Amino acid sequence: EVQLLESGGGLVQPGGSLRLSCVASGFTFNNYAIHWVRQAPGKGLEWVSLVRGRGGSSDYADSVKGRFTVSRDNSKNTLFLQMNSLRVEDTATYYCAKDKSGVDGLIYYYMDAWGKGTTVAVSS
Amino acid sequence: QSVLTQPPSVSGAPGQRVTISCTGSGSNIGAGYDVHWYQQLPGTAPKLLIYATDNRPSGVPDRFSGSRSGTSASLAITGLQAEDEADYYCQSYDSSLNVVFGGGTKLTVL
């Protein structure tokens, strides 16, 4: 069974930093791209970033580009989201989600499994 | 303002059919990129409901179906049940913005 478990959320002041983790199990982690998607309280889903399984290259939404960095440790089946220069508008539940992906590394750009999320609150 | 436009809410009585629209543009749905749908039950994480326009993952009832035309897509739910009350999101790929979501539609079962 595919499982994703996020952690690392919490309360941080504006301008601060936080590092989220996502531990995966039930699939060959390094074969799959993984997304971060966030949801502000009472709002819709917003895509944040994607890190590819092979090579680990990444993409970011304009709203977080230059502030957030995604990385992965394939030896530990773990994905990280380093969030710097946090803003009040970054307050959200952050989900990691597995891309459908292909065995050949092709990215399908949709999510077939989601974690339960971790909550980040940015406030003074 | 979301790149993909959905109605904020829809409603229907048990047993009825409802549809949720998702309108994009020439850089996403209109460019031929796949459309996917997610269901988010209250207090839970989103779940993949429909992928690549009209495909259902294992375990999703055939009461749920998808379609697309031009720059739009639709999700249809037939035989509405109380357990279908949830938020529904469409999602696609945009040639400029990468992954994009609709703003979400709250389905109320009357």
pLDDT digit string, tens, across residues B21-68: 999 999 999 999 999 999 999 999 999 999 999 999 999 999 999 999
Q: Could you tell me the pLDDT band of residue A54, with boundaries at 50, 70 and 90? A: confident
For the segment B89-109, the average pLDDT, to the nearest whole number, is 96
Candidates A111, A112, A116, A118, partner chain B, best to mutate (most B CBs within 10 A): A111
How large is the C-alpha radius of gyration of chain A?
14
Q: Which residues of B touch A (CB under 8 A)?
A: 2, 33-34, 36, 38, 40, 44-48, 51-52, 57, 87, 89, 91, 93, 97-104
Question: Within the 29-48 window of chain A, which residues sit less than 8 Å (CB to CB) from chain B?
Answer: 35, 37, 44-47
Candidates A45, A95, A96, partner chain B, best to mutate (most B CBs within 10 A): A45
Amino acid at A117: G
Please give the Cα distance from B86 to B38 (Å, whole number).
10
For the segment A77-97, the average pLDDT, to the nearest whole number, is 97
Q: Give the model confidence (pLDDT) of B35-48 as tens digits.
A: 999 999 999 999 99
Return the DSSP state at A23: E
The Cα of B16 is separated from the nearest Cα of chain A by a number of Å equal to 26
Please give the Cα distance from B14 to A118 (Å, whole number).
34
Nearest CB to B45 within list A44, A109, A115:
A115
